[in-house]
Structure 1
């Protein structure tokens, strides 16, 4: 059975046929779904730098298993390790104070406070007033004066809290 599986996946082959690569793609797809379930729902949901880095590396590692650029089974194991590392770092960020959480997940940045633009923060984060105006319009606000606070969130989105009227 092991020999059949090795032949099917092209494990000991110097070059893969189109059907071996196709079988590898199916196997990698199924294994990737299983590995993602071992992770947690937030892995690709929040789109913070923490999550995006995992997505890029995860895709790169798994593509190597499909194309045969790396050994098949160790590459799948590396993908599992990446997801477990992500889960562990998220656990650390949630359960520790101080440096670790903000380093892993980042911090929101206040762009507007009490209707006043924080120009130094815009400049520091390479945001123009046009970027901020777009976010205000998307939030149903036409003027900075209508805003109690606005934050550049860890995901890169701008959230707006309107003033009480």
Structure 2
């Protein structure tokens, strides 16, 4: 499994944001359509009905966000050492982003957790948006693009590729 831009690719499965588990919300891209997963948003939007895919609330990596993540980690460690974990203590959930799905019957706003702790690089966020737009250009384009992403995921071994390779993959998939 690997993170490429705003996509989580686990073997042949492609998700926008992190792959959800249990009742967590997420969005999966399949050859049939956009699948809404998790509590309160289950459903399938067929590609033939999808007119546009957009992203909002995408956490973009910045120095401020990185410093905040380090501060939160340090504070969390101090709190964990000083206070025993009790029933009221819980970790903060990862950031959520909104995946807009425009279909023949209106706009649907789905949510997905982001997988990047300190946000996505601006270039990767831009390439990811372009890739989502490309998926709505027609059945042949969608099928070819999703097949390339899935094929890469099945062949890839290890964690997420380095920045330059992630950006190259996104550019290749955008065409």
Class of the TM-score when normalised by the shorter of the 2 chains: under 0.3
* Higher RCO structure (Cα 8 Å, ≥6 apart): 2
Q: TM-score, normalised by structure 2?
A: 0.24
Q: TM-score, normalised by structure 1?
A: 0.25
Structure with larger Rg: 1
- By percentage of residues, which structure has more helix? 1
- By percentage of residues, which structure has more strand? 2
